[in-house]
Amino acid sequence: MDKSERSENLVKSELLRACKLLYRQKLVYATAGNVSHRCGDSIFITATGTSLGYVTPDSLVRLDMDGNVLEGGRPSSEYRMHLAIYNKFPKIKAVVHTHPTAATTLACLQTPIKTTLLAEAELFLGEVACAPYADPGTAELAEKMIYYVHGSNACLLESHGLVTWGATMKEALYRTELAEFTAKININAKSLGY
């Protein structure tokens, strides 16, 4: 096995572990949510209609940076959003799109996550704004949310969910967990009149 094959296998393995973790933590449901990881001049992304809890190596699709399928079936309908992030910010290596309850609640209310309530959130997430609504899976959604990537590590999608990114899969996952925890703190603080 050569170096590029080892690298591909490592990326696939990280992606599969990330998907199952997100499902176990109830940050996704049914077939909602998608995850991708950059691998050289291409990305691996979960296939459309895939439950992240039951993902297998056959559930991964490899795309070039223009969105052409290099191997596998049909990519997640959100592939445009993932590619927009990778193409605009080459240091980003992993993108996680989830539908966690608290963060999605705030997204439905068009309410950013107030990270200043929690020191860790302010430090590790930056500002978490809510991108204006666009139909899921469209180029319009990718165009609207890409504005919020610079200077932040997470973004809500109006009436849709949460997107995080990082230099590693672990970093993107931590940011997903932290964004959801901070969204819960936001809701709790609001309920107490803050």
Question: Which residue numbers are catalytic?
Answer: 78
Q: Residue 55 contacts by C-beta under 8 Å, 6 or more apart in sequence? A: 15, 16, 19, 20, 46
Tokens of 156: 């809500």
Q: Which is nearest to 33 in space by CA: 185, 21, 43? A: 21
Cα 99 from Cα 22, distance rounded (Å) = 10
**8 A C-beta contact, residue 157 and residue 107:** yes
